[in-house]
Amino acid sequence: MVLSEEQIKAVEDLAAANYSPEKIALYLDVNKAEFLKEWYDHHSDIRTAYDRGQLQAEFLINEKQLDLAKSGNITAAQIFLKEAERVKTENIRNRILFGDETND
């Protein structure tokens, strides 16, 4: 399945807003089974766009949390530190399970 650049951008934007792959296929008006087949392929353009969209949204949220934490917002600092701990734990788990490389 080949998507236009406009459709790839839509995948990124919808993934950033936490839409499921099934709903994105519906939004794009493409065959859901074909779309999901591509989405399950971690090296496909669709999966890359989906992951990129989620990463961009996560970055913007974390960046804002960091700014709020630096300005003295205690709740923001607690949330930021909790997220940092979650990522650290996930990285350790992945290193134990998969060695130095993650198994995408």
* pLDDT at 103 exceeding the cut of 60: no
Q: Is the overall model pTM greater than 0.85, yes or no?
A: no
Model pLDDT for residues 17-50, shown as the tens digit of each residue: 999 999 999 999 999 999 999 999 999 999 999 9
**pLDDT band, residue 99 (cuts 50/70/90):** confident
pLDDT tens figures, 45-97: 999 999 999 999 999 999 999 999 999 999 999 999 999 999 899 889 988 98
CA 27 from centroid of its chain's CA atoms = 18
